Structure 1
Amino acid sequence: MKTGSHWRARLRYEFDKSMAAGAIALMGWLALISLIVIVLAGIFLALTGIAPEGGEPVSFIEAAWESLMRTMDAGTMGGDIGWSFRMVSLVVTIAGIFVFSALIGVISSGLENKLDELRKGRSRVLEADHTIILNWSPSIFDIISELVIANQSRRTPRIVIMANKDKVEMEDEIATKVDDLKNTRIICRSGDPTDLYDLDIVNAQTSRSIIVLSPEDDDADSRVIKSVLALVNDPKRRTEPYMIAAEIRDAANAEVARIVGGSEMQLILADDLISRIVVHTSRQSGLSAVYSELLDFDGCEIYTLEQPELTGKPFGTAVMSYQASTLIGICDNNGAVHLNPPPNRVFEAGEKAIIISEDDASIKLDAGKTTVAQSLILPPVAREQQAERTLILGWNRRGPIIATELSRYVAPGSHLTIAAETPGFVDEVSTLQIDRDIMTVDARSIDTSHRGTLNELDIPSYDHVLVLGYSDTMAAQTADTHTLITLLQLRQIAERAGKHISVVSEMIDIRNRQLAEVTRADDFVVSNKLVSLMLAQASENAYMAAIFGELLDEAGSEIYMRPISDYVTIDKPVNFYTVTLSALRRGEVAIGYRKQNDADPDPRRLGGVVVNPPKALMMHFNPDDMVIVLAAD
């Protein structure tokens, strides 16, 4: 009994295992049942000699065929004659109905399970030369839009996205918020970007580049670092280095991230990038348009590529050798970036040129003769830096970086007032590491959208006003609405005072920028948009993070806007070759100009900013027009 029970239990266990194996196993059991019924019916008919009334007995093969037909089609038995044959056919047909009904159910269930599996986005990607985006954040839509523009010249470009989010939800959001994907196809997968098994789904080994976004989590930086660690140290990784662009919020985590990513990763410090651009823009109206032009793919971009024709040439001579492009620096053979090096710095073999151009096809040395009007070039004008009064309205986690960065550029005796309603910000301001001999700081806890409290600040007495969003304590749309109210109040204060107030505002959502333009602020720095542009560029150019690191570093060469009347005589037409040479004599590189009150339509809303103009084109400049230069100070 014990042996019999053991075998029954064993058979039941094996049967249960086979039934749990899925649709294929179930179909196998149904096929076996059908075969048994058909064989038994064939043997029974062959041995008993039962045949349709008036017919001859059939062989086993013929009987099995008749049984198969009745199993597959219940209507076949309708023409049977003779009760003995009818009873056998009825049994076979009933078994067939059971088998095929069950088979339909199994197939339907299998298809449904397969669709559910596909909906989860867990199948492995078999693309090659694709761009991978890990994690999900509001920046992803701008990144996709920029990559779509960059991909137009490529064949069958692909963007693969993996995040801890439902695949269908991701696809629906992208379809809603990205207008035109052109020739780019988006492939979404659900998974954990910090898990080695899940990362294998996106097939990083054959990727073109990888973007690691900062997710909307409390511990976002740790997740980014872990994702990079998983990519770089995957036992199955490729031998060639990856091209990774990773976003980090807190600069305190940057060193660990660099150790993990090494030379394969470009690190984008999101808060640091936004803060520095806000500071630079607040001191020079229109500068945000220059940064946007350099960062987006719709217009001029920064390229880093070898130019063998420049070997042995001084940098100053090389700058004057391009008519449709602007040479701004050198990337040496060690990978170090040098923006605006000394004009006598000679290009060595193998070094790369850093060039602003419409596209890489237009980067070529000018074969024609350079025409420069030497008589129109003016000598340098010395301008003494004056102490400034700056007001910051609003506060968020970028506030301390902005205040500290601002203190590095102002003249001694400057003053900064910070007014906000963020809880505890006054104590945070008191701990800022700022040289009070250079810039004194005053913090006031007020409602920055209330007209009465704004009037008490005497806003027209300030040289610059920065409006920051309350992004740490409010949702994006609520914070932008609060910012819009503040900007409208500032506009009315300026109108009543009859004075232009230099206002730069931080916006969180790009969709609110056009609405905010009615406030007539000088510049809008859109936080998420800038980070998106930077990540997209870094995924295409391995030197982009280093280039912008120097552009925004007080120790390197930065972008300035200066009166063009300081460089050339403007009472007659002048070409940009002449402006470029005038800048070179001051140790600067001219990269463009800004025309005030430009009558030409500006569909891209760059405020009259033109980067990388044709150098041979003759132009008329007005006293209010500015030249955009790359300079050390």
Structure 2
Amino acid sequence: MYERARYWFDNTLARGVTALIGWLAVACLAVVIPVSALLVWTDERAPDTAWAKTAAVWRSVGQTLRLGGEVGSPLRVILSVLLALMALFYVSTIVGLITTAITEELIALRRGHSTVLESGHTVLLGWSDQIFTVVAELVAANANQPRSAIAILADRDVTEMEEELRSEVGDTGRTRVICRNGRPTDPAALTRVSPATADVVLVLPRDHPQEDAEIVKNLLALRTAVDDSRVRTVAVVRDAHCRLAAELAAGPDAVVLEIDDVTARLVAQCVRQPGLSVVYQELLDFAGDEFYVVDAPDQAGRVFAEVLRACPTSSVVGVAGMDGTLRLNPPATSVLSQGDRLVVIAQDDDTTVTTHEPAAFDESVMANRPPAAARPERVLLLGWNRRARHIVRHLSGHVAAGSVLHVVAHGSESLAAEVRAAAQAAPALTVTFGPGDPTLPGTVNEVDLSAHDGVIVLGPDHGPGQASPDDRTLVTLLLLRDRERTSGVPVRVVTEMTDDRNRVLAPAGAGADFIVSGKLVGLLMAQISQNWHLAALFGELLAPQGNAIHLKPAGDYVRPGHRASFATIVEAASRRGECALGYRTRGIARAGNDHEVRINPAKAEVRYWGADDEVIVMAER
């Protein structure tokens, strides 16, 4: 019986608004009338007659339901109810219209379709894993600014973007992060973030190289949206094939980074110089010391060798001319002209001070050891992806003759052909190939790790709908760690990862190097956006030729076993045509590392220099 009654009730509700209003009226009357009658019959001042009490009940019901409550003839009661219903309908309609208008406005705001009225802000176009690194670094860079804003335009729900940013970035302090919904390839949508009045526009990379064409469309749409305005732009593509098109689409006021080549270059450098990834991490994030371009009018007329020691708490690495040219590590005898600015590594852009007298150095402890001759190297490459051919090319350009790269990867004959093609483009490097799956214990155990100077671990290419390549990378690292523990032979490993959150899970040995491509590019974009002069600096550091960052034995600069100031290291490096940036101390176990990297120590800092210590320098390749 209950089920049939419930079924009948549901069917009446399905008839629409009229049935719903009817049931609502019945429910109200079923409560209001009995309660009103109870109030009247229990009132000591209630009328004596039943008709008078009934009239009192009706007045109570009318007042409660706003139905007038008039008594008298039936016509009078009906007319009063009609007027009350009309008034109720009018008020309800007005309230409904106001509520609807407010709701629509709130929905429009939550959709992110309103225009950002800002100037001097930073605009981010697109949404990718790099956005969290970029936003976090921009927040850190603007921590001492009274007011700053970041406007993000992406084809995503605004609420989802805001929640992810709160979860990954946390408190943004004085920096306001404004999210707007829209396709970055649509010029009309671009106007929502006011790119024409922005300080810089950052176009984030897509997840796959096949989507680089979207970056080109974003840049074309940006030029259409800003009309004739000159907007500084930083964009990132993954593949070299789209870089030229992106540069043409972006225009002259743009920097286009190629993420695959940058990642491969750093992997190739780190496998030959362990610990270099930590140095780049220190230089690229805003947590410690980083690159700045500062004025130094009192240094005009001085030779560069003296200027190197004239900044007590900053490390000078180059000169920026009045014409916009930037020279890293110029000759020690070159003279600074009036108007030249210094490229330094400092804690902040306002912490660099210069002195009239350069810091003193100790000639007696300086070493006169010639650089060690390059020797052939053997490198093991576990895994293969689209960046591997770049790694092979970069290794070939810097290793000594007779060096060998042994590739172990799982794939078909097409993979073997790709390895052979990469070997043909690397004449200075002998490339061998052994098929095998690096995630299998048998494959790792068959390789003689002690015969190799370093190991590179790569994950597969990340395609749509596939698992993260870091999953296979972590398995390979587990096997290498187990092999290292059972054999007692330390393994020098450089690992390429795509997600920085997986780096903390990696079972790697002490002092291992990690190149997280997404975070690396995010750091580069943030640095260039804050100081446009750094585009040329990083362009040279990450180019095939020119100056680069190196780790060299401290014994090349001072005699091991002696105490010396860092100013002495700076002078010794200058005589070798190098700029000293810091040092790395071995034998100190901190937070799982077997080394401590110190960037930009004070010139007056005096320490004991051991045989295993290394000096971080900027020098010609």
Identity between Structure 1 and Structure 2 (%): 35
Q: How much has 1:293 moved relative to structure 2? A: 0.8
1:364 to 333, 338, 353: 353
Runs of at least 5 residues in structure 1 that lack an aligned partner in the other structure? 1-71
Q: Say whether residues 1:612 and 2:603 are aligned partners.
A: no
Question: How far does the alpha carbon of each residue in 1:312-343 deviate from its partner, in whole angstroms, 9 at most, with x for none?
Answer: 22222211211100110122334332211111
- How far apart are the structure 2 equivalents of 1:244 and 1:182? 25
Q: How much has 1:104 moved relative to structure 2? A: 2.6
Q: How much has 1:111 moved relative to structure 2? A: 2.7
1:427 match: 417
Q: How much has 1:459 moved relative to structure 2? A: 2.3
- How far apart are the structure 2 equivalents of 1:89 and 1:112? 34
> Residues 124 and 153 of structure 2 are in contact (CA less than 8 Å); yes or no, is this contact kept in structure 1?
yes
Please say which of residues 582-591 and 486-495 is displaced more in the overlay: 486-495
Q: 1:345 to 1:464 in 2, by over 3 A?
A: same
2:268 to 279, 304, 310: 279
> Residues 284 and 527 of structure 2 are in contact (CA less than 8 Å); yes or no, is this contact kept in structure 1?
yes
> Residues 158 and 187 of structure 1 are in contact (CA less than 8 Å); yes or no, is this contact kept in structure 2?
yes
Aligned residue for 1:220, secondary structure, equals: helix
- How far apart are the structure 2 equivalents of 1:78 and 1:552? 86
1:116 match: 107
Q: How much has 1:441 moved relative to structure 2? A: 1.1
Q: Say whether residues 1:295 and 2:271 are aligned partners.
A: no
Aligned residue for 1:506, secondary structure, equals: strand
> Residues 266 and 542 of structure 1 are in contact (CA less than 8 Å); yes or no, is this contact kept in structure 2?
no
Q: How much has 1:367 moved relative to structure 2? A: 4.7
Amino acid at match of 1:612: N
Q: Say whether residues 1:543 and 2:533 are aligned partners.
A: yes
Aligned residue for 1:392, secondary structure, equals: strand
Aligned residue for 1:153, secondary structure, equals: coil
Question: How far does the alpha carbon of each residue in 1:149-197 deviate from its partner, in whole angstroms, 9 at most, with x for none?
Answer: 1110111321111111111111111111123322222111110111110
The aligned runs of 1:481-496 (5 Å cut-off) are 481-496=471-486
2:325 to 319, 323, 336: 336
- How far apart are the structure 1 equivalents of 2:359 and 2:173? 40
Q: 1:235 to 1:627 in 2, by over 3 A?
A: closer
1:533 match: 523
Q: 1:83 to 1:228 in 2, by over 3 A?
A: same
Question: How far does the alpha carbon of each residue in 1:461-514 deviate from its partner, in whole angstroms, 9 at most, with x for none?
Answer: 111110012243597874223212212222232344432222111122212222
> Residues 339 and 547 of structure 1 are in contact (CA less than 8 Å); yes or no, is this contact kept in structure 2?
yes
- How far apart are the structure 2 equivalents of 1:219 and 1:486? 27
- How far apart are the structure 1 equivalents of 2:303 and 2:224? 42
1:621 to 609, 612, 615: 609
Question: How far does the alpha carbon of each residue in 1:397-424 deviate from its partner, in whole angstroms, 9 at most, with x for none?
Answer: 1111111111001111111111112453
The aligned runs of 1:21-60 (5 Å cut-off) are none
The aligned runs of 1:487-526 (5 Å cut-off) are 487-520=477-510, 522-526=512-516
2:244 match: 255
Amino acid at match of 2:431: V
2:92 to 91, 96, 101: 101
- How far apart are the structure 2 equivalents of 1:476 and 1:528? 18
Q: Say whether residues 1:129 and 2:111 are aligned partners.
A: no
- How far apart are the structure 1 equivalents of 2:337 and 2:468? 54
Q: Say whether residues 1:407 and 2:386 are aligned partners.
A: no
Q: 1:395 to 1:545 in 2, by over 3 A?
A: farther
- How far apart are the structure 2 equivalents of 1:315 and 1:220? 46
Aligned residues: 558
> Residues 449 and 486 of structure 1 are in contact (CA less than 8 Å); yes or no, is this contact kept in structure 2?
yes
- TM-score, structure 1 length as denominator? 0.83
RMSD: 2.5
2:440 match: 450
Q: Say whether residues 1:579 and 2:561 are aligned partners.
A: no
Please say which of residues 558-567 and 80-89 is displaced more in the overlay: 80-89
Amino acid at match of 1:378: A
Please say which of residues 308-317 and 199-208 is displaced more in the overlay: 308-317
1:147 match: 138
Please say which of residues 133-142 and 298-307 is displaced more in the overlay: 298-307
Amino acid at match of 1:446: G
Q: Say whether residues 1:267 and 2:256 are aligned partners.
A: yes
Aligned residue for 2:277, secondary structure, equals: helix
> Residues 460 and 497 of structure 1 are in contact (CA less than 8 Å); yes or no, is this contact kept in structure 2?
no
Aligned residue for 2:588, secondary structure, equals: coil
Q: How much has 1:113 moved relative to structure 2? A: 2.3
1:168 match: 159
Runs of at least 5 residues in structure 2 that lack an aligned partner in the other structure? 1-62
> Residues 69 and 77 of structure 2 are in contact (CA less than 8 Å); yes or no, is this contact kept in structure 1?
no
